[in-house]
Amino acid sequence: MKKRDIWSSKLVSVYLIAMFVVFLVVWQIQSLQTSSTSPWETFVTEESASMATKLRESVTFLPLKDLRYAGVPMKGHTWFMSSLYDMHEQGEVQYQEFPTEATGGRVLCLRGHNRHDGLWNSYALAWPDTLPHNATLMRGITFVSYNHYDYHNIWHGLSAMMSFVAWHIKRQCGVPERWILYHWGEVRSSMAPWVTTLLAATFGVPVKIEDFERLDDDIPACFERAVVMRHNEGGMSTERRMEVYDLMRCRSRMFCEVGSGRDEGLKIGMTMLMRDGARSFKNASAVIGIFEEECRRVEGCRLMVAYPHNLSFCEQVKLMSSTDIVISAHGAQLSNMILMDRNSSVMELFPKGWKELAGVGQYVYHWLASWSGMKHEGAWRDPHGAPCPYPDHDRRCMSVFKNGLIGHNHTYFSEWARNVIKDLIWRKAHQDSYNPVSGLCGCP
Ligand SMILES: *[C@@H]1O[C@H](CO)[C@@H](O)[C@H](O)[C@H]1NC(C)=O
Ligand SMILES: *[C@@H]1O[C@H](CO)[C@@H](O)[C@H](O)[C@H]1NC(C)=O
Ligand SMILES: *[C@@H]1O[C@H](CO)[C@@H](O)[C@H](O)[C@H]1NC(C)=O
Ligand SMILES: *[C@@H]1O[C@H](CO)[C@@H](O)[C@H](O)[C@H]1NC(C)=O
Ligand SMILES: *[C@@H]1O[C@H](CO)[C@@H](O)[C@H](O)[C@H]1NC(C)=O
């Protein structure tokens, strides 16, 4: 073939293609106008329908609990939803959010409501317009929590939940429509009432926990928007943690209409949070007497004695907002410390044997104090306690000591209280006065 022939044959084909395109366009316009389905459209629709079916069917559910990581369930990507990684910027909360660009705009789907074995519950990602067959799409923001411990333990419950508050601050105060709680991939349907009310106060909406009971086991639920937390406060800087507790405190006071919470003339509020049974005082009136005596020495000091288990949440909020020094045995009631003004003091008491046998868990209120901007003033450890049939350092003694009673040392308690009060007076004189509750506590 000669060069010119090649050229002209190319021209001819370009011309033909152009004609074909024009023809198609005209045909499309006409078929749109007549609005009847053309064979071409039918072809296109069938093609995409079969694509959609394929996408629907390709959604792969994986077990929520991945036993390959059973030895390191809380490390890195964890054994919960192990195929997914968290978003994490330096010093910020670690979380997953769906949909985002990183996962191609796919939403999170969950299936199953087994309460005994997380291997029977599963998760998947799916495109919103090709959700798995029969899936229910749940609207709004869904908070999905992973707790390695127990939602009914106030400390562990609070620890698992505070990361959602961090997300709320970071993401324009987004409020959850529902919560989904997992422990080792098993569904949970409640948490400690104190934590539940704290969350309701913080987010300004009732806490609705979805347990999937109304869905069949094989029906997936997919979420318009989901936030997954599995690292508690891990990775967050001290400053970020304090912001979280500041917001919880502020919102709780707002929720309970506490205002500044202080009576006129109250300079130093000392509060003893009492327990019944395990880790209560051997002689409560003797202990109260010692702290009362020290408080009376200082003008404007008032000692309050409370049994938190018979106070409502709001009564606790009110009490703690006029407390500068909380005195209590180690125990759940100490979580109330986060409700005091920042820079307040915590005095903790332990029965015999804890230091040697209780492991790191005994320091949780030291940690909580530092995370929430309080000052942990150290612990008193009772040297005396119930006799243990084994040598004192034998681990079996912990079952005796765990729920032991707490005695007192008049000399020690008096000196301790005197020093804590003195430091507090100094701090109060050298710090900015606390901002009372205002507006929406920092949310627009
Ligand atoms: C969807 O639900 C229908 C009616 O309950 C059922 O017949 C069908 O098998 C389900 N499809 C799948 C893929 O589970
Ligand atoms: C408790 O302590 C008070 C004051 O120190 C004392 O009078 C009382 O006898 C003690 N009670 C018991 C049961 O030891
Ligand atoms: C609160 O609890 C303590 C100890 O359990 C009890 O003695 C007291 O009567 C309770 N108070 C109220 C108002 O229920
Ligand atoms: C807490 O006390 C420190 C000094 O001890 C002070 O710098 C800080 O401003 C205080 N924080 C608040 C919130 O008052
Ligand atoms: C009580 O505390 C004081 C001061 O720390 C100490 O010297 C004393 O030995 C303690 N008494 C008892 C009985 O433990």
pLDDT value at residue 260: 65
Taking the CA of 352 as reference, the closest ligand is 5
pLDDT value at residue 20: 54
Q: How far is the CA of 176 from the centre of ligand 1 (A)?
A: 30
pLDDT value at residue 216: 83
Query: Which residue, among 127, 119, 107, has the nearest Cα to 80 in the 3D structure?
Result: 119
Give the mean pLDDT of the chain: 89
Alpha carbon of 298 to those of 160, 419, 422, 429: distances in Å?
40, 12, 9, 15
CA distance linking residue 405 with residue 17, whole number of Å: 92
Q: What angle do CA 67, 68, 70 make, to 5 degrees?
A: 55
pLDDT value at residue 10: 59
Q: How far is the CA of 288 from the centre of ligand 2 (A)?
A: 11
Q: Give one word for 324, left, alpha or beta, with left for phi > 0 and alpha for psi -120 to 50.
A: alpha
The model's confidence at residue 230, banded by pLDDT at 50, 70 and 90, is: very high
Which of 340, 342, 420, 428 to mutate to test ligand 4, by most ligand atoms within 8 A of the CB atom?
342
Taking the CA of 218 as reference, the closest ligand is 1
Which regions of 147-220 does DSSP assign to beta strands (E)? Answer: 178-183, 186-188
CA distance linking residue 328 with residue 369, whole number of Å: 13
What's the half-sphere exposure (Cβ side, CA atoms, 13 Å) at 427?
Answer: 18
pLDDT > 70: percent of the chain:
88
Cα dihedral sign, 57-58-62-68: positive
CA distance linking residue 420 with residue 291, whole number of Å: 11
CA distance linking residue 329 with residue 379, whole number of Å: 9
Token pair of 249, please?
């405190």
pLDDT value at residue 1: 46
Q: How far is the CA of 363 from the centre of ligand 5 (A)?
A: 23
Taking the CA of 408 as reference, the closest ligand is 5
Q: Which atom in ligand 1 lies closest to the alpha carbon of residue 133? A: 13
CA distance linking residue 236 with residue 190, whole number of Å: 26
Tell me whether the omega of the peptide bond preceding residue 389 falls within 30 degrees of 0, making it cis. no
- The pLDDT tens digits for 297-327 are 999 999 999 999 999 999 999 999 999 999 9
- The pLDDT tens digits for 125-161 are 999 999 999 999 999 999 999 999 999 999 999 999 9
User: Is the pLDDT score of 427 beyond 80?
Assistant: yes
Q: How many residues does the chain have?
A: 444
Radius of gyration of the chain (CA): 30
Would you call 187 helix, strand, or coil by DSSP?
A: strand
> What kind and span of H or E run contains 110?
strand 107-111
Which of 310, 316, 333 to mutate to test ligand 3, by most ligand atoms within 8 A of the CB atom?
310
Q: How far is the CA of 413 from the centre of ligand 5 (A)?
A: 10
Q: What integer is the mean pLDDT of 214-233? A: 93
CA distance linking residue 48 with residue 67, whole number of Å: 38
Q: Whole-prediction pTM value?
A: 0.87
| Comparison of pLDDT for 81 and 32, the residue scoring more | 81
Token pair of 127, please?
């495109």
CA distance linking residue 95 with residue 230, whole number of Å: 7
> Bridge partners of 227?
97, 143
